[in-house]
Chain A
Amino acid sequence: MDGFTVGDAAAHTGWSARMLRYLEAAGLVVPGRSASGYRLYGLLELNQLQALAELRRRFGVELTELAFAARLRTEPALRGAVESWLAGIDAAPAWVEWEQHKHERLLAA
């Protein structure tokens, strides 16, 4: 199989042609190109598109969210900052409680 054009891929997967171009721009599903420059979706890309549709349906994930998740994988500084911020919002009560139990065990020992 040489691959599907944008129109064929859209018909096959249920994504609109406009969404396919958006997904390419966001770096999520990037088709190959024919010699004359047309987008060509191979088996890999078609599977990715179907899996992506399934992911959105199951988890209600927006494409912008998925693009952000992809950024987290390629930008360590961004991931570190996000992790630190998330650690900051959930850390205090949980670790304080653990600390209290630890000291209770110490006193009981």
Chain B
Amino acid sequence: MATTKRHDVKDLSLAPEGVRRIEWADRQMPVLSAIRRRFEEEQPLAGYRISACLHVTTETACLMRALKAGGGDVVLCASNPLSTQDDVAAALVAEFDIPVFAIKGEDNDTYYSHIEAAVDHRPHLTMDDGADVIGVLHSHRREQLGDIIAGTEETTTGVIRLKALEREGALGFPIIAVNDALTKHMFDNRYGTGQSTIDGIVRATNVLLAGKRFVVAGYGWVGKGVSQRARGLGAQVIVTEVEPLQALEAAMDGFEVMPMARAAEVGDIFCTATGDKSVVRGEHMERMKDGAILANTGHFNVEIDIPALRALAADTREARQFVEEFTLADGRRLYLIADGRLVNLAAAEGHPALVMDMSFANQALSLEYAVQNAPELERRVYPVPEAIDREIARLKLAAMGLEIDVLSEEQERYLASWQEGT
């Protein structure tokens, strides 16, 4: 099982280009940079081995640099064999002395052998984007579970899986669910996905949003971001929901709220953001206006019932890149963007580095927290502590050059006594 290689990347001579791009990303990630500078002085991760399994991209490289600056002994493998940027992998090895096991387009055997190589590092701390390293440790490397202080998980589905393990009493070490942090949701889901979803729809269709009736299914973080941005561009936004609280919030935020069955009849553009399946179904498509546009920004392409759409269609053709035209029996045409896949990734550029700055700042501070609080942590899935969220917000404000007021001693006493008195 032990690997003899110290790293495995495509081509080390790609490093200069990787360095150039990592430095660019670093300038877009002021919060993580600030953390790296503090880590350099305080060395909070000194003596700890860290195995990270993340998309090998410029932004991840900035996170790896921060961990290493903090004294961490880091290795990195890919969480997806197709998203690896070979120049970044080369730069991490050649310039930043961080072992990387990742080659873009590697086959499944190589991909999994690279995860094993990261586990061979005998980590005290793990970082995952889809529970790969955690998965290996919980299957055939269980003898290493006892070495591990804690791990982080970046994705919602990863956290769902780990919470299931926790319920079964099978979780081998504490996990911090980075996905749940407020500073992650705000930037990643509301602002990041909110913007890039609109960007993807506009790029794919060149539609003018002003004056359109834009239906958003789901008023979670992403749905809120999409709704607000669509309204900002002049669309009349309609929200569909199944949760009374979210629906009420949408209504009080000034959006029309109605069931999909009614929204289907009036909407010009539909965007699903629910995380559930079959949200836009055949019965809805049958009532849609000629020219209606369908897009999805939830994780999976099951939110729009595409088989039902195909069954309804008398004819299909590619209307333009990323846009498939479905002509129904009565001649009405419906337009599906990017085959119902995540529209912001398929038809736009996904997240700017600035969004990843907040997510990865949570990752870095969560590891520091785990090391400092190791004795108290149990084998459970923890949310990111509120103190980390506030610290990241403080760093972000500082990076934006914004200042806020500070409570006077008198005000602090007043608040404390008020809290105690009620």
Contact = CB atoms under 8 A, between A and B. Distances in A.
A79 B85 contact: no
B241 interface: no
Contact of A92 (B17, B87, B346): B346
A4 to B, nearest CB: 36
Contacts of B122: none
Interface in B293-351: 299-301, 341-342, 345-346, 349-350
B14 A103 contact: no
A77 B16 contact: yes
B18 interface: yes
B104 interface: yes
Nearest to B350: A92
Nearest to B88: A84
A109 B104 CA distance: 26
Contacts of A79: 13-14, 17
B362 interface: no
Given A103-B157, A109-B161, A80 B14 contact: yes
B17 A83 contact: yes
Interface in A48-89: 76-77, 79-81, 83-84, 87
A8 interface: no
A24 B14 CA distance: 28
Chain A interface size, as a band, is 20 to 34
A84 B17 contact: yes
Nearest to A78: B17
A84 B88 CA distance: 10
Given A83-B87, A96-B342, A100-B299, A106 B131 contact: yes
A83 to B, nearest CB: 6
Interface string A93-109: 11111111011101101
B160 interface: yes
B341 A98 contact: no
B161 A77 contact: no
Interface in B241-276: none
B205 interface: no
A44 interface: no
A1 interface: no
Given A87-B85, A99-B80, A107-B160, A80 B17 contact: yes
B130 interface: yes
A88 to B, nearest CB: 9
Contacts of A96: 341-342, 345-346
Interface in B1-19: 13-14, 16-18
Contact of A81 (B13, B17, B349): B17
A99 B55 CA distance: 10
B16 A100 contact: no
Given A79-B14, A80-B87, A84-B87, A95 B80 contact: yes
Contact of A84 (B21, B83, B158, B299): B21
Contacts of A87: 85-86, 104
B17 A106 contact: no
A83 B104 CA distance: 11
B44 interface: no
B41 to A, nearest CB: 33
A94 B161 CA distance: 24
A80 B157 CA distance: 34
A78 to B, nearest CB: 9
14 contacts: A76-B14, A79-B13, A79-B14, A79-B17, A84-B87, A87-B86, A94-B82, A95-B80, A98-B81, A98-B82, A103-B130, A103-B300, A107-B161, A109-B161
Given A91-B83, A92-B350, 17 more contacts: A76-B17, A77-B16, A79-B13, A80-B16, A80-B87, A83-B14, A84-B21, A84-B87, A93-B341, A94-B82, A96-B342, A99-B80, A99-B130, A100-B341, A103-B299, A106-B158, A106-B161
Which 4 interchain pairs have the tightest Cβ spacing?
A: A80-B17, A95-B82, A95-B83, A103-B157
Interface of B: 13-14, 16-18, 21, 80-83, 85-87, 104, 130-131, 155, 157-158, 160-161, 299-301, 341-342, 345-346, 349-350
